[in-house]
Amino acid sequence: MDWNLLFLSFSAVFISELGDKSQLAAIALGGQSKVPQAVFLGTAAALILTSLLGVLLGEGTAQLLPERLVKGIAAVGFALLAIKLLWPAGD
């Protein structure tokens, strides 16, 4: 077990993720949710799966998926979550 490699990758990713979209989303969603565990597990699972895909597909991920479309859908997703919070339809 190569500990300094483990520590290197932990700190590199930790620092790069601090204040990233996913963490801001975790703060926003985690704060207002009645089931914060679901927010934590959802966020962590999504991040680990995306980095696993990044690992397995390597450089391929960039060419493979239409990034504009994927990020566009994500933007719509976040907008819906925001609207639900800012203008609750009394649900």
Residues 53-72 that bind other proteins (CB under 8 A): 53-55, 58-59, 61-62, 65, 67-68, 70-72
Residues that bind other proteins (rule: CB under 8 A) add up to a total of 74
Among 63, 75, 89, 90, binds other proteins (CB under 8 A): 75
Rounded-to-integer distance, Cα 6 and Cα 58, Å: 19
Q: Is 89 in the site for other proteins (CB under 8 A)?
A: no
**Interaction pattern, residues 16-55, with other proteins; x per rule: CB under 8 A:** xxx-xxxxxxxxxxxxxxxxxxxxxxxxxxxxxxxxxxxx
C-alpha count within 13 angstroms, C-beta hemisphere, residue 9: 6
Nearer to other proteins, 1 or 89 (CB): 1
Alpha helices in the chain (DSSP H): 3-17, 21-32, 36-57, 60-64, 67-86
Rounded-to-integer distance, Cα 67 and Cα 63, Å: 9
Among 1, 89, 90, 91, binds other proteins (CB under 8 A): 1
